[in-house]
Amino acid sequence: WLDSMAGLHAIPSGALCIMHPKMYLYGQEALMRLRSVAAAQQDEDMQAILPIWNSVYSSMSLMVNQKSPPHKDTNG
């Protein structure tokens, strides 16, 4: 599914690169560090996924349940 989402992942990554270049670089650096840690710990799952991870973000969330109750952040 990562390959099929590559085009969509490029949009927020590209937007971040333009709007907040430092944050984009920090995201790239975080992914490089994850690669180093995965190699040091011999984490085969992480070593397999990181080379094909096509987003500057190190994680993502997907909400598919449209029946969830509305959420209001009361802390700002």
Q: pLDDT class for 76, splitting at 50, 70, 90?
A: low
Nearest residue to 35 via CA among 64, 58, 2: 58
Write out pLDDT tens, residues 37-62: 999 999 999 999 888 888 888 776 76
Evaluate whether 28 touches 53 at the Cβ level (below 8 Å): no
**How large a percentage of the chain has pLDDT more than 70?**
92
- pTM metric for this prediction: 0.65
For residue 55, the model assigns a pLDDT of 86
Q: Output the DSSP codes for 41-74.
A: TT-HHHHHHGGG---SSS-------TTSPP---T
The residue with greater pLDDT, 59 or 30, is: 30
